[in-house]
A = this chain, B = another copy of it.
């Protein structure tokens, strides 16, 4: 049955008569936010365990990045959603990335990512981000707060990620100077789209590597500095297997971008 003949509408479930309820709208998706990036290096062997073929270890073996971010995000279908219902357009996230490469092109795989809202959780699954729910807290600098102050040399921010009663990740950055866009690590995601078959758990219905089609990337107000990062032991998550880490600095900046969908670069089957 062609989509035209299927009377319910929506990019994802729920599919409904008017198509207003889909938890995720179709791309393009528009993002604006604040990002703390913490660059680390772990043991190559530890990193490699998280990199499945055909991805290979990257040019800087063991390199990884953690992002703590707060996003405002709307879609082409509902560009006014940040006004209509702010809750449907905001989320925080903590992303773990491990450098890898695909056919010689370096990028990052995302073994873990936590967010705090459903639309971004499901959108993550659609894109290939393995999102789970967590609570993400991040220092907000405040120019007018007499004891905190704004972005400046010496400013300190921290990110904390907790899920199912466990502190999972904690990272911080001490601002030492402003930086230029060219200093930011270029990030290209190799994303794992995966959706189970309901008849046979061993044969996923969808299992493929994808890249996002990104445009209109802008960064502003970039600071760099000394970073710190801790992965905590967990009964559920395997992130402590990435420790110990050695830090290679970090960044804090504003960022905007558009994701126009994605492209499948490898199918597992």
What string of 1s and 0s marks CB contacts (under 8 Å) between A151-182 and chain B? 00000111111101111000010000000000
A104 to chain B, nearest CB (A): 19
B-side contacts of A199, CB under 8 Å = 261-264
- The residue from B50, B236, B262 contacting A20, defined by CB atoms under 8 A apart: B236
A44 on the B face (CB < 8 A): no
Decide yes or no: A52 and B15 within 8 Å by CB, A74-B148, A143-B254 being known contacts. Answer: yes
Report yes or no: A85 in contact with B165, Cβ–Cβ below 8 A. Answer: yes
Residues 101 to 139 of chain A near chain B (Cβ within 8 Å): 111-112, 117-118, 121-122, 125-133, 135, 137-139
Report yes or no: A3 in contact with B203, Cβ–Cβ below 8 A. Answer: yes
Residues 71 to 111 of chain A near chain B (Cβ within 8 Å): 72-74, 76, 79, 82-90, 111
A17 to chain B, nearest CB (A): 4
Main secondary structure on chain A at its contact with chain B?
A: mixed
A268 and B138 alpha carbons, distance in the complex (Å): 40
A31 on the B face (CB < 8 A): yes
Interface 9-mer from A21-29, A57-65, A243-251:
A21-29
- Number of A residues contacting the other chain (C-beta, 8 Å)? 116
- The residue from B147, B207, B235 contacting A85, defined by CB atoms under 8 A apart: B235
Residues 166 to 224 of chain A near chain B (Cβ within 8 Å): 166-167, 172, 192-196, 198-199, 201-203, 205-207, 210, 216, 218-220
22 A–B pairs (Cβ distance < 8 Å), ordered by A: A6-B52, A7-B49, A13-B192, A15-B194, A16-B50, A20-B238, A21-B237, A23-B132, A32-B145, A33-B145, A76-B147, A82-B145, A85-B235, A87-B164, A121-B122, A127-B198, A128-B198, A145-B256, A198-B210, A198-B263, A198-B264, A199-B261
Known pairs A143-B254, A160-B165; list 16 more (Cβ under 8 Å). Answer: A2-B269, A3-B202, A15-B130, A16-B50, A21-B236, A24-B196, A32-B145, A72-B142, A74-B145, A79-B147, A121-B122, A128-B198, A145-B256, A146-B216, A162-B165, A199-B263
